[in-house]
Homo-oligomer: A and B are copies of this chain.
Amino acid sequence: MTIYSSPLIVQRADPYIYKHTDGFYYFTASVPAYNLIEIRRAKTLEGLAHAAPRTIWRKHDSGAMSQLIWAPEIHYIDGKWFIYFAAAETQDFDDNGMFQHRMFCIECDNADPMRSEDDWVERGQIKTPMDTFALDATCFQRDGKLYYVWAQKDPKIFGNTNLYISEMENPWTLKTDPIMISKPEYDWETKIFAVNEGPAIIHRNDKYFLTYSASATDENYCMGMLSIPDNADLLDASNWIKKDKPVFQSDLKEHQFGPGHNSFTKAEDDETDILVYHCRDYTDIKGDPLYDPNRHTKVQSFSWNDDGTPNFGKPLPYNYE
């Protein structure tokens, strides 16, 4: 079992890795300046640490996509590249006391998504019935249908954000009403802030597992998990079963604080499952943690329990010399 360099990529939060059919791992994440979207690629996970990024989209000078570009994910859907990301018009809070992000989509139909900024077309906002703080969208396909999962504020519900699912008409348009499948309710989901965000989906053992991140983004940040039989109605909230305990959390002794906002990929063997997440290594941050760039991307393999659920273990210690 490969042990990767830890951390793998410094100062990249909300990491997303996609292994494409061309043999490359594609990596994107929030950059510390929150001002652009970059992609890098390498043939190995370790190579991503040295792979030169390419800027493929920049924030606008003003308007809905001009502030705090967060958590891009790159997806390859029916022969085209799509990136989902959250952006805001302002850094001010809204009447709910929340940031004002909405979700946006850009598309590239060049086989090489890193060729040029010119290849990327803006598809606009992913509109949802509620016009509130929304972020961290991901998507997956089942039986030729595309599903969209994201985090959003509902002013009628206590806390920051809940998780929703919809079927999509196309990669930037919802087809069905959003169904809420999780809200912050357990104590480990409501530390300092009541948060469910950063959903990621993995399919195994006749189920979909949906991991997400909960609580404030300090040492309380941790990962929870939902699951659903893979032949169930994905749009029926009652089919989604939530685990009552976190599945991945801080290791205070090893100075691994607030692991989360994960994604999934496969090792170079195309078999071993890899957990991708970010983590901090110190908590005595001056000022707003949002502007402390030291959330670092880590990757580690994980295994499966006899009951068919994933066993993520705990955040690996640093191992560089």
Contacts and interface: CB of A to CB of B under 8 A. Distances in A.
Interface of A: 5-8, 10-11, 31-33, 35-36, 38, 40, 42-44, 47, 49-55, 58, 116-117, 281-282, 284, 286-287, 291-294, 296, 318, 320-321
Contact of A31 (B8, B293, B320): B293
Copies of this protein in the assembly total 2
Nearest to A8: B50
Contact of A50 (B31, B40, B49, B294): B49
State the main secondary structure of chain A at its contact with B. loop
B50 A10 contact: yes
21 contacts: A6-B50, A10-B53, A31-B32, A31-B293, A33-B293, A35-B291, A36-B293, A42-B321, A47-B320, A47-B321, A49-B50, A49-B320, A50-B318, A50-B320, A52-B281, A52-B318, A53-B294, A54-B282, A55-B286, A55-B292, A117-B286
Contact of A116 (B7, B54, B284): B284
Given A33-B33, A58-B287, A52 B296 contact: yes
Nearest to A52: B281
Contacts of A282: 54
